């Protein structure tokens, strides 16, 4: 079993309120205590918070549109079991073409600040962890109450024995 803790759009820098930052860090540390690795889908903003996350577990991170961190790539891929996983901050306009071109089974992205788990007809899983600091509510659907913006992260478990993926949105 391989387990990933996934977050995006933290938008944290060293001038943040230290009490609030420590509360957030402790929540993330607790939620990700049993993960093997953390994946950050961009907009960390400064290296300060990335280094804090690395104290919890090893981190894979891509560059977002507001990041000031050097040497981060815009897109990364890695393999776990039989799955090709890609991480990007801004999702491409043509998701299907991008996923097929990159031969992905899972695409993790950020940018929208809205949590999202979606299976596709082209046999890929699309994940967005939302944001643990600046969440945005999903659009309201007619006939339903107005959705709330909730601070969220994701976990992704891959059972390598039987290749089963389990993912959860976690409100923090």
Output the CA angle 127-138-48, nearest 5 degrees.
60
- Condensed to tens digits (0 to 9), the pLDDT of residues 27-59 reads 999 999 999 999 999 999 889 999 999 999 999
**Parallel, antiparallel or unpaired: strands 59-61 and 75-80:** unpaired
The mean pLDDT value of the chain amounts to 95
Domain ranges, residue 33: 2-171
- Condensed to tens digits (0 to 9), the pLDDT of residues 81-108 reads 899 999 999 999 999 999 999 999 999 9
Tell me the average pLDDT across 141-165. 94
Question: Domain containing 18 — which CATH number?
Answer: 3.60.21.10
Q: Which of 128, 81, 129, 89 is nearest to 105 (CA)?
A: 81
CA distance 17 to 20: 5
pLDDT of residue 51: 93
Provide the number of structural domains found in the chain: 1
Confidence (pTM): 0.95
pLDDT of residue 16: 76
pLDDT of residue 26: 96
pLDDT of residue 14: 78
Tell whether the model's pLDDT for residue 171 goes beyond 80: yes
Residues found in the chain: 172
CA distance 79 to 108: 13
């Amino acid at each position: 079993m391989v387990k990933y803790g996934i977050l995006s759009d933290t938008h944290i820098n060293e001038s943040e309120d230290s009490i609030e930052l420590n509360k957030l860090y402790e929540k993330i540390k607790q939620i990700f205590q049993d993960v093997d690795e953390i994946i950050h889908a961009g907009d960390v903003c400064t290296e300060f918070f990335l280094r804090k996350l690395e104290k919890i577990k090893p981190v894979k991170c891509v560059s977002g549109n507001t990041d000031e961190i050097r040497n981060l790539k815009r897109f990364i891929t890695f393999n776990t079991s039989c799955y090709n996983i890609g991480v990007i901050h801004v999702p491409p306009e043509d998701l299907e073409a991008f996923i097929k071109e990159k031969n992905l089974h899972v695409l993790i992205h950020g940018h929208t600040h809205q949590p999202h788990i979606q299976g596709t007809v082209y046999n890929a899983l699309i994940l967005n962890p939302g944001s643990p600091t600046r969440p945005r509510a999903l659009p309201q659907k007619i006939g339903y109450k107005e959705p709330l913006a909730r601070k969220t992260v994701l976990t992704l478990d891959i059972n390598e024995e039987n290749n089963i993926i389990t993912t959860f949105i976690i409100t923090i």
